[in-house]
Structure 1
Amino acid sequence: MGDIDIELYGYLIDHLDAISDEWFGLRIKEEGSIYSVDAGERMENTLREQNRLTNLTVACSLLEDKKQFEESKDKWARIVAESRIQSNTPIHEVLGALSKVRDIYWSFVKKFTSIRNEEVTKDDLHRWGKIIHLAFDELYVEFSEMYFKLMTNRLSAQLDLIDELSSPVIKINSETGVLPLIGDIDTYRAKKIAEIVPKKCVDIGIARLYIDLSGVTIIDTMVAHQLYDMTRILDLLGIQTRITGIRPEIAQTAIQLGLNFSKIDTYSSLQQALGEEFLIVAEQ
């Protein structure tokens, strides 16, 4: 790293805010975008802080210590990705904004070159162009990877919540719970139900579980097997299973598959089953 590289680094550091100012000057009115000129003072302060970190990170690429650039790049990617996910900003908007920063950044390199014209060679310009453009390319990649990782984690957490909500074990007294299943049940959902329900029953102290199928229209072969296996798991855990609301077509599917539900009490409706349950409790 030569003296002229150090001088360029110092020049860019001294003009971090000026680079941001020019970038902000390019904003236009874009409805719903955080980059809109009317996005508000709070968002402008956030963007200004993040843009300063962008400019600082790229400047670090001129240093011999590449570790500083890597650390700054990782920090920048996480901060910006988390912020853009929180504001629901799509990747293409972020990359578009970053491209504008690149153009402005290079214009400041040219300004430095015009000031130190006699000391800057063509080799210097070529080297700086390669270093700086590569730094921006790495920011693109690092941001995209971080955005994907964080968004995937967020979606995974949402799917887990959906799985939990689609298998609601409702406790109606100290020992009894109801599992109302509604809508189509595909193989994935049936598998998740079989995984979630036994653990949930144990956690909340369920001794008898009523599985209500009155809201289920169709059950295919794999789903029927999954539900049957779940009743066996519950039985091994000492939890009595009772099924309500079985439709004729579902009963036919179970018979055709040779699934033996003879050891499980079945009822035509949840109302009938709970009526019997309350009578038992009252007699006790």
Structure 2
Amino acid sequence: MHRNMDLYKYLITKAEKLTDDWYKSIDQSTAVGVYASKDAKDINRLKSQNYSFHEHLIQVFLEDEHEFFKAFEVWLNEIVTDTGHQSTPTHIILQEFLNVQRQYLSMIESFERENEGTYTKEQIYSWNHIILKAFSRVMTRFVEVHDQLSLRRLKSQQELINDLSAPVIKLHQDVGLLPVVGEIDTQRAKYLLENTLMECTKKCITHLYVDLSGVNVIDTMVAMQIFQLIDALKIVGVKTTLSGVRPEIALTAVHLGLNFKDIHIAGNLSQALQMK
């Protein structure tokens, strides 16, 4: 019931004006992110994206709902991956969606006045309803796609941080160094164990210096996992020399009853490297 060629034609002729009016309505004194740019290229791209939105949205008055929302995915992916929109808070983008929604409701009202008596209240209601439904679906989907992209980016960044925070550095021949720096939680300790074993095997390391001088705090679970790392390295044929063990870490290990037997220990890395 919401399909109507006359309304479609009316809105498509107003699309450019909708874009211009929308951009002019942005308060540049408080605008942030993509909406605050003064660069002509950024402004033109933003207007082009908005106009493209109108081209897609107006199709709702011609197409089947399923096909309409399917086609909208292309526009959504373009916006979500746009660097300007990525640097803009999500709630600001959603606010602009709502501003454009108000434009459409106003346009439908204008169309009704210009064609007074031509359409029934049920038809007008169906137009308003489909606009509200379309915006609701598009905004919800935007947040979903945006969050998926953010999670992938966060995961990639976390993997990079883990790689940088647990590097096995090959010193010479079959000797390597694992400098552990910063706070170690259970998740990072697990990664440390897995990554170190893999890197030692990959780099053919048979003697690994593990330096803990950069670790200030360590809890019971993490202390156990570090000693598990040493035991696991022993199983795969890697000799371990531990250095930089702070008093609090040593106390934690003792309280846990962890066995220091057969573990080479040095006060600091310099001393460890001098050990035969």
Q: Deviations over 1:96-155 (max 9, x none)?
A: 111111122222223333333342222221110111111111111111111111111111
AA in 1 matched with 2:180? L
TM-score (ref. length: structure 2):
0.90
How big is the shift at 1:87?
A: 4.1
Gapped regions of structure 2 (runs ≥ 5): none
1:186-201 equivalence runs, <5 A: 186-201=185-200
Q: State the Cα deviation string for residues 200-256 of structure 1 (Å, max 9, x = none).
A: 222333221100122223332211110111112222222221111223332332233
Q: Over residues 161-191 of structure 1, what are the superposed CA-to-partner deviations in whole Å (9 max), with x where a residue is unaligned?
A: 1112211222211221111122332323222
- The CA distance in 1 between the partners of 2:212 and 2:21, in whole Å, is 63
Let me know the Cα RMSD of the aligned residues: 2.2
Match of 1:221 in 2: 220
Within-5 A mapping of 1:256-271: 256-271=255-270
- Give the distance between the partners of 1:72 and 1:238, measured in 2 at CA: 58
Q: Which residue of 1 aligns with 2:19?
A: 20
Please, which moves more after superposition, 169-178 or 6-15? 6-15
Task: Figure out how many residues of one structure are paired with residues of the other and give that number.
Answer: 275
On the 8 A contact 1:85/1:147 being kept in 2, the answer is no
Task: Name the CA distance, whole Å, in 1 between partners of 2:85 and 2:271.
Answer: 48
CA–CA distance in structure 2, aligned partners of residues 104 and 259 of structure 1 = 69
Corresponding position of 1:52:
51
SS of residue matched to 1:145: helix
Query: In structure 2, the residue corresponding to 1:35 is in which secondary structure?
Result: helix
Q: Does the 8 Å CA contact 1:170/1:179 hold for their aligned counterparts? A: yes
Does the aligned pair in 1 maintain the 2:233–2:240 contact within 8 Å?
yes
Looking at structure 2, the residues matched to 86 and 134 of structure 1 have their Cα atoms a distance apart, in angstroms, of 23
Q: Which residue of 2 is the match for residue 160 of structure 1?
A: 159
Q: Which amino acid aligns with 2:214?
A: G
1:3-41, Cα deviation, whole Å (9 max, x unpaired): x712212322333222212212212213543213x5321
**Residues 76 and 142 in structure 2, CA contact (< 8 A), matched pair in contact too:** yes
Would you say the 8 A contact 2:33–2:87 is kept in 1? no
User: What is the percentage of aligned positions where both structures have the same residue?
Assistant: 35
SS in 1 for 2:240: strand
Counterpart residue number, 2:146: 147
Contact 1:22 1:104 in 2 (8 A): no
Indicate conservation of the 8 Å contact 1:207/1:239, yes or no: yes
Counterparts of 2:21 and 2:55, CA distance in 1: 15
CA distance in 2, matches of 1:254, 1:245: 14
Superposed displacement of residue 50, structure 1 = 1.6
Q: Secondary structure at the match of 2:34?
A: coil
Residues 264-273 or 131-140, more deviating:
264-273
Aligned to 1:280: none
Residue 33 of structure 1: aligned partner: 33
Determine the structure 2 residue equivalent to 1:97.
96
Work out the CA distance in 1 between the residues paired with 2:165 and 2:130. Answer: 52
2-structure distance, mates of 1:86, 1:107: 26
Tell whether the 8 Å contact from 1:19 to 1:108 is kept in structure 2 after alignment: no
The answer to whether the 8 A contact 1:213-1:245 is kept is yes
Gaps of 5+ in 1: 278-284
